[in-house]
Amino acid sequence: MVKTLTIRQEKILNCIAEEYIASKIPVSSKALTRKYGFDIKPPTMRIEFQKLTDLGYLAQPHTSAGRIPTDKGYRFYVDNLHSGLFNRGFDSIEKEMEDSLGFFQTMTRRIAELTSNLAITYFPEEDVVFKEGWDEVFKEPEFEDASFIAKFMETVQSFEKHIDEMSDFNDPQVFIGKENKVVLAPEFSTIVSKIHLPKKKEGVVVILGPKRMAYDKNVGIMNSLIKLLQ
């Protein structure tokens, strides 16, 4: 039987995800109680942390550390987002739409700048793949680990080979860790969507980064891009 979370546990889990995404530091029960209160005392918060850990939503990287979301925890957080539009950032690229390749590359670079992740775009009619955002994504603390960098590079190469298989997603789809099926990427998250371009052309956009990415903002950016291109 699947155990459902209490309303309080749902709020705690969402707050932990948001705090960890923003701070890049495992979240302690003391810090969460101090910031959000929840009308409970620290010992009760510690009990809730442990329950969420036992249920597989949280993990404790080190014995004395706070908690971070697991893939299951991120999935719960993403499924409960209500992402709208990210209403800035793409206006400046509209004037470049007539120059297909120039527009595609500028658009890819802008996605990378806005998301701080790697943006990969594929345009079948032009048979071209653009990758932008290396400087942005490599600033994230996960990339201080050389083995993480190596896995990331392998994943990027695999995406290049299989990106034409990702053209079925008409709306932004979020894949977390092992949910990535077309390309095995257990350490990373992706946001994938087909885009409809001027002159009835189509393309595929992939946002690729650590699982600790700003899902709400990134989905909003993808939604805004799709709306602009319509």
Query: 91-105, pLDDT tens digit by residue?
Result: 666 555 556 778 888
Return d(Cα 1, Cα 4) in angstroms, integer: 9
Return d(Cα 223, Cα 75) in angstroms, integer: 19
Cβ–Cβ < 8 Å for 74, 17: yes
Cβ–Cβ < 8 Å for 26, 68: yes
CATH 3.40.50.1820 describes domain 91-229: no
7-79: what CATH class? mainly alpha
Query: 7-62, pLDDT tens digit by residue?
Result: 999 999 999 999 999 999 999 988 898 888 788 888 899 999 999 999 999 999 87
User: What pLDDT score was predicted for residue 130?
Assistant: 95
Q: The tokens of 188 are what?
A: 């990373």
pTM (2 d.p.):
0.90
Q: Which of 71-80, 82-91, 102-111, 121-130 has the highest mean pLDDT?
A: 71-80
Kindly provide the b/e burial profile for residues 205-217, where b requires at least 16 CB atoms within 10 angstroms of the residue's own CB. Answer: bbbbbbbbbbbbe
| Strand extents, DSSP E, the chain | 58-59, 68-69, 118-123, 128-132, 173-176, 188-197, 201-210
Identify the band that residue 184 occupies on the pLDDT scale cut at 50, 70 and 90.
Answer: confident
Nearest alpha-carbon partner for 58 in 73, 77, 79: 73
Within the chain, all domains assigned CATH 1.10.10.10 are found at 7-79
Within the chain, all domains assigned CATH 3.30.450.40 are found at 91-229
Return d(Cα 102, Cα 108) in angstroms, integer: 10
DSSP annotation of 197 reads E
- Give residue for tokens 């909003």: 220
Name which residue leads in pLDDT, 144 or 82.
Answer: 144
Identify the band that residue 169 occupies on the pLDDT scale cut at 50, 70 and 90.
Answer: confident
